Amino acid sequence: MKIRGAGRIARAAVKALEDYGDSLEVSGGRDFVERVREAGEYLKGARPTAVSLPNAINYVVLNLEKEAKGVEDVASLKAALKKYCESFVERSESAVEKIGLLGARLIEDGDTILTHCNSEAAISVILTAHRQQKNIKVFCTETRPKGQGYLTSSKLAKNGVDVTLIVDSAVNFFIKKVDQVVVGADAIYVNGAVVNKIGTSQVALVANQAKSRFMVAAESYKIAPKTFVGELIPIEERSPEEVVSGEWAQENKEVKIRNPSFDVTPPKYIDSIVTEVGIFPPEGIILLYRETYGLS
């Protein structure tokens, strides 16, 4: 949890892969590629729900494998690995900026926005609208149990946004004042369902009942390819000690504690998914998936 946010996790993973590759001392190209591939598989296991991580690793490793065919010079392969790692990081950072510009189009002057967790892309949308001189107000949920909302509200406030921090359970109390919810995503199903921080699906349900618009801001590399054939995205569960103290758990051993980190928001509760390549209704994500992977 030292690195939070799917985009940040993906960039950290490819930078780690680059550092690892640079440190390798092997005799030939085949050994180099195999060691990098093994390291990539190890990194993929760090955060099972954040699809951006395996997608980032796959982008780097697959491109390296293509370039490595018939090449045994390790120095040239290290340079290729560095190139693809830096390419992904640049693409990822650029995507956040583009999402901000596109998403801000959907923010109207005078809107009150609610955001959940700590998403680079969602923050980019809100800050871009603010810099465009749109008069906006923002509610940030605490996002228990790790309190990512403290990070979000602090960043928005330091950039001059009118922001109010609320407890997660107060969303329904404030939702009638909210014109639009803006959240990020850790993964996107091909059918337009979105995996995001636990509590997002409840926020979406409440927003739907209140007729508040619901925007997901996410990079296109967060689409999970395996969901095209019906595979489910695993939901990570974290330590009970994020919820209660170890002392309390020992004193109440009969109490079971569950701490899922993410949930799935159905596409019917989502109005728009804003990516760096365009704004899509949830049903349109299948088109982006087909274009990305060259499927007819």
> Which residue's entry shows tokens 């803006």?
182
Catalytically annotated residues: 117, 186
For 272, phi then psi, to 5°, come to -150, 145
Distance of CA 61 to the CA centre of its chain: 21
Helix (H) or strand (E) holding 216: strand 213-217
Beta strands in 37-135 (DSSP E): 112-115
Q: Which of 21, 31, 28 is nearest to 72 (CA)?
A: 28
Distance of alpha carbon 107 from alpha carbon 168, whole angstroms: 23
Burial pattern 253-287, b for ≥16 Cβ within 10 A else e, equals eeeeeebebbbebbbebbbbbbbbeebbebeebbe
**Residues composing the chain:** 296
Distance of alpha carbon 171 from alpha carbon 175, whole angstroms: 6
Contact 194, 273 (CB under 8 A): yes
